[in-house]
Structure 1
Amino acid sequence: MPKEVKTKKAAKAAIPKSLDTFFGFTILPVLVAENTRHYMYLKKHESRNATELLPNNRSLFVLNLPVDTTDDHLRQLFGDSGTIKRIFYHNGVAADTVYDSDCSDEEEFGVVEASPEKKEKESKKSKKRKNLERRKEEEEAPIELRKVLHTGSSAHIVFAHTKMLEAALNTARDRVWTAGENVNVQSLGFDRYMLRFSVSRPDPAKLQQKVDSFMMKFKANEYEQERLALERMNQMDDDGFVVVTRNKKVKTSDGTTSVSTFKGESFDVNKVKKKELENFYRFQLREKKQNELVELRKKFEEDKEKIAVLKQSRKFKPF
């Protein structure tokens, strides 16, 4: 075979084959394992309701993402095309993904706002102590499991410039699916389920410390509420009246007693006014006398009926 023919064939083999298309989508095969390809579908984002966060000329729509997709995977895959600004995932995550929904102790039982004196004391804390507390919170932060996508999930990738989007649509085929060498990603499979098991069952000693801390804050909040209630007790209101309150000791579950306040009954002025105005007008006196006469007549008729009954029974002895 002539040398010229060989060089032409070698040149043709060196030219990378362009990506195939399917119903307007560009098909991108990636190597998720040795001799195992996963096909992703790319398309330029086009929408009438384009926004600054999702512009038409810089957004790439990616369909059929692998279930183990992370931001690092997508940045490693399309990083050669240009700078990626944002990534928006769709279709949610798999049902077995665990989220930490613990709220703070203050949100749990509604801590009363601290007094100015208390705030002033807290503000005097040294920076060293604050840094130690911050480190302790970071160490005690719950471990979050790696999110797993549903099969066939999609995402929008926003690039910095339009040319980068065009380069992503013309990327090379059979790229290796990886998050990068220097990226530490949680492993999946059996290791993930073992991690989930350990996260869902915390250490009893640490759990007891957390419970004790919660109860201490809860009691401190109760005492603060009682103190504020005692301060408000027997204070004169804007109208010049004093609302009398009473205290009642209530036994708690730990055997101690706490003081709880009850709202006092305010003095009703309208009732007194109504009583004072009775029989004040002439028509009121007239109506009262008429009602009394009606009652007397009614009683007289009842007595007459009783006398008639006794006469009939011949037991009537007037003298």
Structure 2
Amino acid sequence: MRKVTSKMAPTKWTRANDKACVIPEGFTVLPLKFYSDTKAQHSLYAKEHKVRAENCPHRPLDKTLFVLNIPPYCSEDVVKQLFSQFGPVKSVELGDHPGSFHSGPKLSKHFTPAQKQCFKVGYIVFHNRSSVAAAKSHPHNVALVVCSTQHTVKTGVPKWIQQYKDAFVQPDKLQGIVDDFMKNFDKKKEKEEERQRKEVEQQKDDEEGWVKVTRGPKGNKARPRSEAANKRAIQKEMRKKKRKELLNFYTWQHKNTQKEHIAELRKKFEEDKQRIALLRAQRKFRPY
């Protein structure tokens, strides 16, 4: 007899495993494993960052991926390594809750408080738009591996020992960090003072508060108001208001001043009437 072999067609569930798992609110489920051979896995939830109210130049809407449920053992470097398989990663931001994180130059860990060990949210900024689409279409049966032979991540006792060693800093190294920080701070302060000085020179007003308006480079009238000019105008208004308050501090004092003024006007009016009557009497014609 001839042996007949038949190849079964893949089931619907098998075909569905090759696709991305999208849950309500548009989040894509990304499975995560610490080691590739472990059975336990964790789930990350990612979607494209589309918050129109937030205007952050370092988070472009078409190149930023918003990720939830990032475990505590995943640092910024680990998250960057995990998502670099979808494309080159420009920057990674991790925080306790969604929103605007620290803006400006990144400070050293010696000048920032210790972060809480909790599940975090992250913003992954890619160089290309296609990387966001690749992350959203990642199949949910292929897990992202945190620790591998190429990228080792310490955990447990080795991690605590490393953190304890990093807590001790050499004095010369710490002094170098402090010096760099103070240099950047002084440069920033000098630039701000120079900018304010130029604004004061350009927006000088006279004693009456008039400001000279000049035309901009395109022929449009430049706005004369600056921070220094606004501050001087507010101080001038406060001085005027204070003088008025000193003249009539209380309401009853203001009313009494008005009554005294009216009484003085009436008294002067009566005196003028008597003077006019006297002049008329003196001008009467008397031939005899």
Bigger CA radius of gyration: 1
**Would the TM-score normalized by the shorter structure come out above 0.5?**
no
Give the shorter-chain TM-score range: 0.3 to 0.5
Q: TM-score, normalization: structure 2? A: 0.44
Greater relative contact order (Cα < 8 A, sep 6+)? 1
